[in-house]
Amino acid sequence: MENERIVVLDFGGQYKQLIARRVREQNVYCEIFPSEIGIEKLKELSPQGIILTGGPNSVYAPESPRFDPGIFNLGIPVLGICYGSQLMAYLLGGEVKSAPVSEYGHTEVCIDKPDSLIFKDIPSSGGSSKITSWMSHTDYIAKAPAGFEVTAHTSNCPVAGMEAPEKKLYAVQFHPEVMHTEYGAGMIRRFVIDVCGCSGSWKMASFAEKTIKELREKIGSDRVLLGLSGGVDSTVTAVLLSKAIGKQLYCVFVDHGLMRKNEGDEVEAVFGPGGRFEDLNFIRVNAADEYFEMLKGVEEPEEKRKLIGNKFVEIFGKEAKRLAGTGGFKYMAQGTIYPDVVESGTGKDGAVIKSHHNVGGLPRDLVVELGFDEEPVEPLRALFKDEVRKTGLELGIPSELVNRQPFPGPGLGIRVVGEVTPEKVAMVQEADAIYREELTQAGIDTGKGQFFAALSNMRSVGVMGDFRTYDYAVVLRGVITTDFMTAEAAEIPWTVLQTCMNRIINEVKGVNRVLYDLTSKPPGTIEME
């Protein structure tokens, strides 16, 4: 059914996006909302189910996030996860205590009620079963509320799962959304399909057609301005808008000098005159010198992100003012996708993982001055990265563009650890080009994740020929992921890594060491900064 929806309430949990992604994998639409959402808003959304995320707080702390316990009486199924399970127990009269032994990471969970709907996929023997789960908590449920049955436990957590099926209330202390939990995806599926009664009929297939129609109706004969980076998100956004309104779309490409090798020219070749998608107005602004001057002496990652984002707004704003003199614009468009929205914070309890310069649009005074509608056009705002790619293929965008390696808005500014200089960017560009070339020649499927070179801030002693060197270390990063919410390091053959190392050290001036990053996400992020 088109109107089926699961709502995820965010209590500051680091895995909130994963929960939403796992629900969408069941072909059920899902959105994340701040925990402080009111009960009337929830009624208005009319979800088939509600999932409460984990979070870093204790339910007893005065500043800990809460919500209206009346939600439990709406007749809507609720699944509490980690902090969400503790909050459910606490608000309904159970007992939550500080754990004598905190549980973090892989933990064995004993399933006490294998016939529970959400444990339906877990094989049992003799009326019980055990699974390996992912735990992350310091408090625990010591006693379930009246009317609840304990469905799981661990050696340190007496209530690792509980349920009141007649009230459609379920809770688990562990994280079923994380890949480290056995049968976790099945638990999410059973809650969404069996408990909530969703049909699982939401598909991406109709998204492009529906969105083009909606864009055409919304925009009418007005003009739209888009900041085009040439990445997957902005490319799909540009093509959607181009198919909807054609030459009414103006795309401003700000070349900040922080792109991959030759990429600025490649973007122009695709969208400029004579390019594959020329049914739009393409404007290129070369601004590398301004960016490098601005970044002198700046080392802190979040500061770099904000400076790069603010400079984009400044330059984009100047160009917007110039273009506005040719007829004016009603709308600004952005390639915002769902992880951008969530990582920038969903509410007062939502953690800001990192800033995204394409969330929030231009400053209000500039929006007013230019006459833009206050709400930007963001056709991809509800999609995850893999869903954006599917949409791109549906639009007829060649797979080499749709499946190109993801690239962050701040560009190489966050793939150079520490201060960003033209010399360091050149090192990364050359090393990255070599890395990608060797991966292609080796036949490694880079479409399954993200592969890139970065420059560490570490300098070390080396020997080249008969001379001592004191140069930088390049870090090669390769991760396998489908949703970019979690990722594992790619197992690149040793011979390929050795070839990359030899070429980079011999061909890239200023580099005398090459490292391979094995860190997964979590605990790391995919990008270096």
Is 175 one of the annotated active-site residues of the chain?
yes
Residue carrying the six token digits 């509800």: 382
Do β-strands 129-143 and 149-153 pair in parallel, antiparallel, or remain unpaired? unpaired
CA proximity to 60, closest of 33, 37, 83: 83
Q: What pLDDT is attached to residue 1?
A: 46
CA distance 377 to 372: 10
Higher pLDDT, 498 or 344: 498
CB 117 within 8 A of CB 125: no
Distances (CA, A) of 324 to 238, 248, 364, 372: 19, 13, 16, 10
Do β-strands 129-143 and 95-111 pair in parallel, antiparallel, or remain unpaired? antiparallel
Q: What pLDDT is attached to residue 352?
A: 41
State the average pLDDT for the chain: 88
User: pLDDT category, 369, cuts 50, 70, 90?
Assistant: confident
Helix (H, G, I), strand (E, B) or coil at 202: coil
pLDDT tens digits along 470-497: 999 999 999 998 767 778 999 999 999 9
Is 375 one of the annotated active-site residues of the chain?
no
CB 4 within 8 A of CB 201: yes
pLDDT tens digits along 423-444: 999 999 999 999 999 999 999 9
Residue 47 CA, chain-centre distance (Å), reads 23
Higher pLDDT, 290 or 207: 290
**Residue 153 backbone phi and psi in degrees, to 5:** -150, 165
Q: What pLDDT is attached to residue 64?
A: 87
Is 82 one of the annotated active-site residues of the chain?
yes
Read off the pLDDT of each residue in 229-249 and give the average, rounded to a whole number: 91
Report the percent of the chain where pLDDT is more than 90: 54
User: pLDDT category, 390, cuts 50, 70, 90?
Assistant: confident
Q: What pLDDT is attached to residue 244?
A: 94
Read off the pLDDT of each residue in 174-185 and give the average, rounded to a whole number: 89
**Residue 242 backbone phi and psi in degrees, to 5:** -60, -40
Q: What pLDDT is attached to residue 313?
A: 87
**Residue 227 backbone phi and psi in degrees, to 5:** -85, 110
CA distance 396 to 387: 15
Q: What pLDDT is attached to residue 483?
A: 67
> Considering 175, 256, 356, 357, which one is annotated as catalytic?
175
CA distance 497 to 488: 17
Token pair of 392 as six digits: 């791109």
Read off the pLDDT of each residue in 328-336 and give the average, rounded to a whole number: 89
- The Cβ of residue 309 has, within 10 Å, a number of other Cβ atoms equal to 19
Q: What pLDDT is attached to residue 367?
A: 76
> Considering 25, 31, 36, 177, which one is annotated as catalytic?
177
Read off the pLDDT of each residue in 325-339 and give the average, rounded to a whole number: 86
> Considering 25, 31, 82, 263, which one is annotated as catalytic?
82
Residue 162 CA, chain-centre distance (Å), reads 30
pLDDT tens digits along 189-232: 999 999 999 998 887 667 788 899 999 999 999 999 998 888 88
Is the pLDDT at 248 greater than 90? The verdict is yes
CA distance 105 to 73: 33
